[in-house]
Amino acid sequence: MNEVKLLFRKDLWVLKNNILLILRNPARLLPYAGLIGYFFFIYTMRMKDRAERLDNTIPELDVNGLPEVDFATQNIVGGITVVALGFLLYQLFRATKRNVSFFTMADVNLLFTGPVKPQNILLYYKGRSILPSLGGSIIFLVYGGSQMAGSFDFSLGNIVFILLGFALFFFILSPIRFLIYTLHTKYDILEQIKTVITVLAVLLAIMILIPGLMAEKFWQGMFSWIASPWFDLFPFVGWSRGMMGYVVHQNLILAFAFLGLYILSYYLIVRLVIQFAGYYYEDVLEATKSNEVQRDKVKGKRENSEANYSLNAKKQLALPDFGVGAKAFYWRNYVHSSRQDFHPLFGVYSLILAGLGVVFAVLSHFDWFSHKVLNGYILGILGFYFLAGIGRASVGDLKKPYFFLAPATWTAKFWNVIKLDLVQITLFAVAMIVPSVLIAGLHILVIPVFILGILLAYMIGLCINLIPQISLEQGWDRKLIKPIMMIGIFLFGIIPALVLGILVFVFTKQFVWMLLTVTIGMSFVAAILIHVALDVLSRLEFKEEN
């Protein structure tokens, strides 16, 4: 017991030091205060509309006088559940590859060498790992609650069960992964574990396919089983959904029953881990080192290795001469892309994403899916490449010394660094959107608008992350300015474009005009950011990083 008290006291000292750092420079909290203010504003606006919505809501009845099935709500609930199930299966599969760690290298150097029982350290850090999950659930509640305040009553009980349902799901994953890896290393049951995960994935796919085929239209029935109340009994995913569903069903006994199942599961998992883990120090050391490296990369202390993403690293190449000067950057990216994937211009990942779009188009053509699914996938691809642009600024030539020393103009160097990305994105966009539009019978204007929109989304994401990285030298300046910059771009650029697109869709009922409106709005944002990025690049001087 005294050992646990010492560990708790250590964390209190760490918390105290972090609070003192914030008090020395309170300006660091300004971006987060602005974000909370924005969510509070949205929350109050939603609450004003709630009473009017409730007064004007009349349930729709079918010919038999029974309430009609709300397919939109069913598909939303089912879709979110499927995403959670996919995440659960992914985490279970990851557990067969590498262990999970609750520690940092400071813990390894301080605690693992000290006279503390390994079981006590593991128990304490397992319990403490719920704090990040609670923090994430609070962020989710602040954002999601501000958007849904007009539809739900956020009383104390509703808030508590939403937080617990969200937090416990992510909290329980780490102990499960730790147990799976422990059992694998001790009993060599990797193949059996993989078989169980595969069978579970197949069963879940069948639970979507069978009701979809039985329904009049596939999209009306595909989530009817997964979205049904009995699926709340499914471990972890269903339990969290049942707890968060307290907002709707208001069944206190049922919500506490799911909470009890979580507590019982956690107790059993911890007992099994303590029984089988033994002296686990060596098992978690590699995972702890890997986590430390990833944290350093996020903070900018280390650069990401492009070899981490290579699928064909040992491929023998025979490439033509691309030229000199800034073209060397394009040549280098072409070489890397040739080793990263099976073709430098169109790889496996692009083929999978394009294939999914074509599959959605085929299913919508035969009325298995509504066109809304394909439209949503198109918008999701735009968001995906926006995130890809943000990630691109921290990988590759943009932070290397020879980018500054190469004898060429800044504009030529910048465009040759990203030229291959733009070619790959264009080829992917054409391969996906052309057959999808022709098969699904969408408006032909979707083709050029989508191609332009995906390029703009990538450039916006690239510039958002690139500008503060190359213009600010101090790490704390980047941490302060980058959130403010992103909030400003979203509030005054991206969100207005999305709102205008939604308004256009409401009036025209045509997805193509919505996509065109959003693309036009994004073009103004991209033009401004590209101009700023080129201006900042032209003012750079070569300096060693601090």
Paired tokens of 142:
């602040």
Rounded Cα gap, residues 419 and 423, in angstroms:
6
| HSE-up (13 A, CA, CB side) for residue 159 | 11
Rounded Cα gap, residues 386 and 206, in angstroms:
33
| Segments in 341-445 forming alpha helices (H) | 348-365, 371-392, 401-405, 410-440
Rounded Cα gap, residues 463 and 64, in angstroms:
57
Spatial contact of 338 and 315, defined as CB atoms under 8 Å apart: yes
What's the confidence (pLDDT) of residue 275? 79
The C-alpha angle 484, 459, 493, rounded to 5 degrees, equals 45
Paired tokens of 273:
């881990």
The DSSP call for residue 65 is S
Residue where the block lists tokens 């300015």? 481
What's the confidence (pLDDT) of residue 260? 93
Rounded Cα gap, residues 374 and 376, in angstroms:
5
Radius of gyration for the alpha carbons in the chain, expressed in angstroms and rounded: 26
What's the confidence (pLDDT) of residue 264? 93
Rounded Cα gap, residues 175 and 104, in angstroms:
17
What's the confidence (pLDDT) of residue 258? 92
- Alpha-carbon torsion 186, 192, 198, 203, what sign? negative
Length of the chain measured in residues: 546
* Burial degree of 482 (CB within 10 A; 0-12, 13-18, 19+): middle
Instruction: Give the containing element (helix H, strand E) for 545.
Output: none
What's the confidence (pLDDT) of residue 323? 65
In one-letter notation, the amino acid at residue 14 is: V
Phi, psi angle pair for 394, to nearest 5°: -105, 10
Annotate 506-524 with DSSP letters as a single string.
HHH--HHHHHHHHHHHHHH
- Phi-psi label, residue 100: left if phi above 0, alpha if psi -120 to 50, beta otherwise: beta
In one-letter notation, the amino acid at residue 398 is: L
Rounded Cα gap, residues 482 and 461, in angstroms:
12
What's the confidence (pLDDT) of residue 293? 63
- Phi-psi label, residue 66: left if phi above 0, alpha if psi -120 to 50, beta otherwise: beta
Rounded Cα gap, residues 39 and 49, in angstroms:
16
The CA dihedral of 154, 156, 158, 161, to the nearest 10 degrees, is 140
What's the confidence (pLDDT) of residue 452? 92
Work out the mean pLDDT of the chain and round it to a whole number: 76
The C-alpha angle 30, 473, 463, rounded to 5 degrees, equals 75
Paired tokens of 516:
């065109």
What's the confidence (pLDDT) of residue 455? 92
What's the confidence (pLDDT) of residue 261? 93
Paired tokens of 229:
């109340």
The CA dihedral of 361, 364, 368, 373, to the nearest 10 degrees, is 80
Strand partners, 248: none
Phi, psi angle pair for 368, to nearest 5°: -75, -35
Nearest one of 118, 94, 120, 87 to 285, comparing CA atoms:
118
Residue where the block lists tokens 């990833």? 294
Intervals of the chain under pLDDT 70: 1-3, 27-28, 31-32, 35, 38-39, 41-71, 98-103, 106, 111-114, 116, 142-154, 219, 277-287, 290-325, 336, 338-344, 368-369, 392-406, 470-483, 539-546
Paired tokens of 141:
């509640």
What's the confidence (pLDDT) of residue 353? 84
Rounded Cα gap, residues 256 and 263, in angstroms:
10
